[in-house]
């Protein structure tokens, strides 16, 4: 269930109502009056939840899911668990966007022009915390002891920041829980919408992003880095990880402990990265990958497949370092021969 600190769910809705909203048809034998309280990913969903399947990587999770109902392409209907109600559609992700939007309609915006202070009266600031001019702190936010919030920073509603943290000027934090001794430099964007759009034959729908960003203790985040909140699972940054300036971390990414991420790295959605991983500058990682503990990825590498623990890779597509260097040497020799002729 989406964190009630940040999100308020509508509903419940019957299967019949969800079918009408999504344009899906109800599978044979399902109870059209069954009621559902929320959306959840396949691996977290229970009998009161609606989920969806739109990626071959998650067929096994679908077959084992406890979801009470699922939006699914008819080709996968035969793989569903016995007690799961099916909402059959040619475009499951597109249909999910409509269902999730019904459970979580856009929230009303706070009009600070009507308030005497940009710091909400329900916000809590710990002893010794200092706030520079221009800071906005939303309802229910909690900031620990001995923190500093830089000029014009924005702390969204419900955000929790631990003790001894530094938030730089013009940074914005939303939908996130921050540990102790975290430094976030100027202009960073934490907890913004992930790039969640459901492509369709007639329109592309925005998918509600219902997760959070969870940042562990002793993390450093550089200037103008963006870390998107999860789409329903959370985006997670492990303890003592150090992230450079101008890094993009997409929704649902799991970044382990003690990782080093250098400037202009891009990590696509739902990729899981182990502990003590090193990512060189401008490396790009595709989505839904698994990077093992202690892996090292060289600058400008393009990673399109899983990387084993302890491996060192480079190039595009990323290959084991020796193999990549061997290929570079061959290309250089071919170029030298061409020059001589």
Q: In 216-329, which ranges are E strands?
A: 220-221, 226-227, 235-237, 242-243, 248-249, 254-255, 260-261, 266-267, 272-273, 278-279, 284-285, 290-291, 296-297, 302-303, 312-314, 319-320
Q: Are 23 and 203 in contact (CB under 8 A)?
A: no
Q: How many other CB atoms are there within 10 angstroms of residue 87's CB atom?
A: 25
Phi, then psi, of 323 in degrees rounded to 5: -65, -40
Phi, then psi, of 291 in degrees rounded to 5: -110, 120
How far apart, in whole angstroms, are the C-alpha atoms of residue 195 and residue 115?
A: 32
Among candidate residues 76, 180, 251, 288, the one labeled active-site is 251
Q: What is the DSSP letter of 123?
A: -
- Find all residues with CB under 8 Å of 83, minimum gap 6, and list them: 47, 68
**204 assigned to active site:** no
Half-sphere exposure of 119 (CA within 13 A, CB side): 14
Widest CA span of the chain, in angstroms? 79
Residues annotated as catalytic (active site), given as ranges: 251
């Amino acid at each position: 269930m989406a964190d009630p600190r940040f999100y308020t769910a509508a509903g419940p809705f019957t299967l019949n109502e969800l079918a009408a909203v999504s344009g899906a048809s109800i599978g044979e034998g399902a109870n059209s009056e069954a009621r559902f309280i929320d959306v959840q990913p396949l691996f977290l969903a229970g009998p009161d939840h609606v989920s969806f399947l739109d990626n071959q990587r998650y067929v096994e999770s679908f077959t084992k899911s406890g979801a009470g109902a699922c939006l699914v392409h008819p080709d996968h209907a035969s793989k569903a668990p016995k007690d799961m109600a099916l909402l059959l559609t040619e475009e499951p992700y597109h249909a999910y966007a409509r269902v999730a939007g019904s459970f979580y309609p856009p929230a009303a915006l706070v009009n600070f022009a009507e308030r005497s202070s940009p710091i909400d009266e329900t916000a809590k600031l710990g002893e010794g915390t200092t706030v520079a001019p221009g800071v906005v702190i939303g309802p229910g936010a909690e900031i620990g002891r001995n923190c500093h919030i830089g000029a014009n920073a924005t702390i969204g509603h419900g955000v929790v920041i631990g003790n001894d943290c530094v938030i730089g000027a013009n940074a914005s934090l939303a939908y996130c829980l921050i540990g102790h001794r975290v430094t976030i430099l100027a202009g960073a964007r934490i907890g913004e919408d992930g790039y969640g759009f459901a492509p369709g034959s007639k329109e592309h729908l925005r998918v509600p992003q219902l997760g959070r960003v969870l940042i562990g203790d002793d993390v450093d985040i550089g200037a103008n880095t963006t870390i998107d909140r999860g789409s329903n699972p959370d985006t997670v940054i492990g303890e003592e990880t150090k992230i450079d300036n101008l890094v993009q971390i997409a929704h649902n990414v799991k970044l382990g402990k003690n990782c080093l991420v250098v400037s202009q790295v891009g990590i696509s959605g739902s990729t899981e990265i182990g502990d003590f991983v090193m990512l060189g500058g401008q490396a790009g990682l595709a989505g839904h990958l698994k990077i093992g503990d202690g892996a090292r990825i060289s600058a400008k590498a393009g990673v399109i497949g899983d990387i084993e623990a302890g491996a060192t890779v480079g190039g595009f597509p990323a290959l084991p370092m020796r193999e990549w260097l061997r290929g570079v040497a061959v290309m250089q020799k071919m170029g030298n021969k061409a020059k001589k002729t």
